[in-house]
A and B are shown apart, each in its own frame.
Chain A
Amino acid sequence: MNAIEARGLTRRFANLLAVDGVDLTVAKSQVYGFLGPNGSGKSTTIRMLCGLLSPSAGQIQVLGLQVPQQAEQLKRHIGYMTQKFSLYEDLTVQENLEFLAAVHDLPRLRTRARISDLLRRYWLGDRLNQLAGTLSGGQKQRLALAGAVLHEPELLFLDEPTSAVDPQSRREFWDSLFELADAGTTILVSTHYMDEAERCHRLAILDQGRLVADGAPRELCASLPYAVWLIDCSQPRRAQQALQQQAGIVALAQIGAELRVLASSTAWDADALRQHLQGGSIEAQVRRGYPNLEDVFVAATRKPARDIAGALA
């Protein structure tokens, strides 16, 4: 049985379709990533899966329970870390965790040991009596994660858990996620970081409420119907302008002195690119590159060509 199965999940706010017919399958013990631009419906989807928001249409089954009908039963088995810090800023680290332990009916005897274990695991041992509101951004997020896993849920929803965390702590944070996954916890995590997305077992990319791609990161890269070209020239900005409006060019990005081109593999190859640039009297060397997740993301969520031109103008 899968941990999450959603079919045709839809949510409307007034006349805005925030989530539009999303099908989602998350297997047990997986770390499942949620990618998408701002406002693409990641948080809204997570809220519906937790039973906090009722869907406008669609079927949801989480841990074998119908949501939202059986949401109250479900809440004993899930942990939810909200995008915005939602523990009590005017309680100390310890008070927050004790409160959550009581709310989740954790046996009193186990509470103390569990809390000290979590404090050690998330490097908060020396912050015990500090008010949560005065913690640094990364410390807050570690506390929120500790709060979400306190009752050892089977399924964990994490909404952008590392948005304010430094790279080193992010790695440690993800190591701890895999520890949980190894212990059997299913994790659904939304993120804007490609390196984090890369580490997920599977990914879903949302754009304007629609599911535009899903699969294992490597599969997604391999099945990209575009080729990546790296253009080395003295004036990468001019090269970018020369290619901007051309049909079959999906995305352009200057990376250092190089121009990274994502282009339709039927319309363009290395020679065609070189010749086109020569026509604009730009001497360039063109190399083949490998698609990465960022290319997948950009290709999946790209706006119609006109919008890109507008945004760059």
Chain B
Amino acid sequence: MSLRRLLSIVIKELRQLRRDRLTFAMIIGIPTMQLLLFGFAINLDVRHLDAAVLDQANTARSRELVAELGAGQVLNLRSALSSPQQLDELLREGRISVGVVIPPDFENRLERGDRAALQLVVDGSDQVVQQAARQLAAFPLVQLRGNATPAAAVEVVNFYNPERRAPVNTVPGLVGVILTMTMVMFTAMALVRERERGNLEMLIATPVSPWELTLGKVLPFIAIGLVQVSLVLALGKLIFAVPLRGSVFDIYLAALLFIIASLALGVFLSTLARTQFQAMQLAFFTFLPQILLSGFMFPYAGMPRAAQWLAEILPMTHFLRLIRGIALRGATLADLWTELAALAAFSTIMLGIAVMRVSKRLD
């Protein structure tokens, strides 16, 4: 390996990047746009579900219950109904997502406590609504019995995000999403571009080695990745007041390892693709499972066993645990060393396979 050759490839890459306005803009644009999008628009807290009430009991306590439900932020009580048919109709037409049904023997049921006193009819076609309904089901009906010592309702304590603000959870995860998206795609495309434009045929007729070629093309992206991390964390702190509890150094170290893992994946994909378009498709193909299975979208604990195994292979799963641990819980790298080890193992194996596949042949 010649340091001069390696350096000349890095410089060449930076020069090309400087002239590629679009890519340059995407390096800054993608993180900023995603941060604002996820931070402002995508609010994972469910609020203001449209609902209707069918109060068949119409007693003092049932009216109290309806008022109580209406005062909460979750349901938006739109109308009081007089027949179950009306409820069906509204649900089917999608005008409401939740129907609150209070049966005629509400008082009896409440006293005996053997059957559900309240029925929630929900639009099961929407997962988010279902989840919200499950929360509603924990509504402390016992208070309505007028007992002196109300049984303790289930209390969910949000220890690390007491105000339950979504950006606090999403922004650190977003660092992972953005790095996955840009790093894998940029490297895969940068390497394939060389082949597609015919530069590779000239380059492999020179003494350049596969390692020099690969590292030279990848090194600039490490720097770019770190810039993106800084951008997201800084904007997250400025705009959404996302706290950084752990050490910034730990965060950067974790990010560095994750960037290397993503670049290794990108290099590997570039050896499979023939055109830049194929490279982009492949990058997207690996992007989806990382977003869906890593725990960014859905909780890891709730996934089936097979999906969990798959998630363990994906670098983003480990990075999310790292960054959430460090940024939100104030954990240290020593606490999370297994995740670091997993990322290191992924990078080593992937890069090894990739460089073996970067051949200096056209066939």
Q: How far is the CB of B318 from chain A (nearest CB, A)?
A: 36
Q: Whole-angstrom distance between the alpha carbons of A102 and B16 in the complex? A: 17
Chain B residue nearest in CB terms to A55: B363
Which residues B180-205 have CB closer than 8 A to chain A?
A: 197-205
Query: B15, B208, B362: which contacts A103 (Cβ < 8 A)?
Result: B208
In the complex, chain A residues whose CB is within 8 Å of the CB of B16 = 88, 90-91
Q: Whole-angstrom distance between the alpha carbons of A78 and B202 in the complex? A: 12
* Contact yes or no, A88 B360, CB < 8 A: no
Chain B window 1-40, contacts with chain A (Cβ cutoff 8 Å), 1 for yes, 0 for no: 0101101110110011001100000000000000000000
* Contact yes or no, A54 B361, CB < 8 A: yes
* Contact yes or no, B8 A75, CB < 8 A: no
Chain B residue nearest in CB terms to A75: B207
In the complex, chain A residues whose CB is within 8 Å of the CB of B19 = 90, 131
| Given A91-B15, A104-B207, also A82-B8 (CB < 8 A) | no
* Contact yes or no, A105 B199, CB < 8 A: no
Query: B8, B361, B363: which contacts A102 (Cβ < 8 A)?
Result: B8
In the complex, chain B residues whose CB is within 8 Å of the CB of A72 = 207, 360
Q: Which of A45-53, A231-239, A260-268 contacts B (4 or more CB under 8 A)?
A: A45-53
Chain B residue nearest in CB terms to A92: B15
Chain B window 277-318, contacts with chain A (Cβ cutoff 8 Å), 1 for yes, 0 for no: 000000000000000000000000000000000000000000
Query: A53, A84, A87, A147: which contacts B363 (Cβ < 8 A)?
Result: A53
Chain A window 48-91, contacts with chain B (Cβ cutoff 8 Å), 1 for yes, 0 for no: 00101110000000000000100110011010101011111111
* Contact yes or no, B201 A87, CB < 8 A: no
Q: Whole-angstrom distance between the alpha carbons of A104 and B7 in the complex? A: 13
Query: B5, B12, B206: which contacts A75 (Cβ < 8 A)?
Result: B206
Q: Whole-angstrom distance between the alpha carbons of A99 and B199 in the complex? A: 13
Q: How far is the CB of A154 from chain B (nearest CB, A)?
A: 14
| Given A102-B5, A105-B5, also A86-B201 (CB < 8 A) | yes
* Contact yes or no, A86 B360, CB < 8 A: no
Chain B window 123-165, contacts with chain A (Cβ cutoff 8 Å), 1 for yes, 0 for no: 0000000000000000000000000000000000000000000
Interface check A100, CB cutoff 8 A: yes
* Contact yes or no, A82 B198, CB < 8 A: yes
In the complex, chain B residues whose CB is within 8 Å of the CB of A86 = 197-202
| Given A52-B361, A99-B8, also A104-B206 (CB < 8 A) | yes
Interface check A23, CB cutoff 8 A: no
Query: A68, A80, A89, A95: which contacts B202 (Cβ < 8 A)?
Result: A80
Q: Whole-angstrom distance between the alpha carbons of A54 and B202 in the complex? A: 16
B interface, size bucket: 20 to 34
* Contact yes or no, A91 B12, CB < 8 A: yes
Which residues B26-73 have CB closer than 8 A to chain A?
A: none
* Contact yes or no, B20 A90, CB < 8 A: yes
Q: How far is the CB of A191 from chain B (nearest CB, A)?
A: 19
In the complex, chain B residues whose CB is within 8 Å of the CB of A131 = 19
* Contact yes or no, A95 B207, CB < 8 A: no
Query: A50, A82, A99, A105: which contacts B12 (Cβ < 8 A)?
Result: A99
Q: How far is the CB of A95 from chain B (nearest CB, A)?
A: 6
Q: Whole-angstrom distance between the alpha carbons of A80 and B206 in the complex? A: 9
Chain A window 171-198, contacts with chain B (Cβ cutoff 8 Å), 1 for yes, 0 for no: 0000000000000000000000000000
* Contact yes or no, A53 B362, CB < 8 A: yes
| Given A90-B19, A91-B15, A91-B16, also A75-B4 (CB < 8 A) | no
In the complex, chain A residues whose CB is within 8 Å of the CB of B4 = 102, 105
Q: Whole-angstrom distance between the alpha carbons of A274 and B19 in the complex? A: 68
| Given A82-B198, A91-B16, also A103-B8 (CB < 8 A) | yes
Q: Whole-angstrom distance between the alpha carbons of A50 and B9 in the complex? A: 22
* Contact yes or no, B5 A103, CB < 8 A: yes
Q: Whole-angstrom distance between the alpha carbons of A82 and B9 in the complex? A: 20
* Contact yes or no, B206 A100, CB < 8 A: yes
In the complex, chain A residues whose CB is within 8 Å of the CB of B201 = 47, 52, 82, 84, 86
Q: How far is the CB of A59 from chain B (nearest CB, A)?
A: 18
Chain A residue nearest in CB terms to B7: A102
* Contact yes or no, B199 A88, CB < 8 A: yes
Q: How far is the CB of B41 from chain A (nearest CB, A)?
A: 36
In the complex, chain A residues whose CB is within 8 Å of the CB of B197 = 86, 89
Query: A68, A78, A90, A99: which contacts B205 (Cβ < 8 A)?
Result: A78
Chain A residue nearest in CB terms to B20: A90
Chain B residue nearest in CB terms to A79: B205
Q: How far is the CB of B10 from chain A (nearest CB, A)?
A: 11
Chain B residue nearest in CB terms to A91: B15
22 interchain pairs, CB-CB under 8 A: A47-B201, A53-B363, A54-B363, A68-B361, A71-B360, A75-B206, A78-B205, A80-B205, A86-B198, A86-B200, A87-B202, A88-B12, A90-B16, A90-B20, A95-B12, A99-B12, A102-B7, A103-B208, A104-B207, A105-B2, A105-B4, A105-B5
Additional A-B contact list (14), CB under 8 Å, known A52-B360, A85-B198: A52-B205, A53-B362, A54-B363, A75-B206, A82-B201, A84-B198, A86-B201, A86-B202, A87-B202, A88-B12, A88-B16, A90-B15, A91-B16, A103-B8
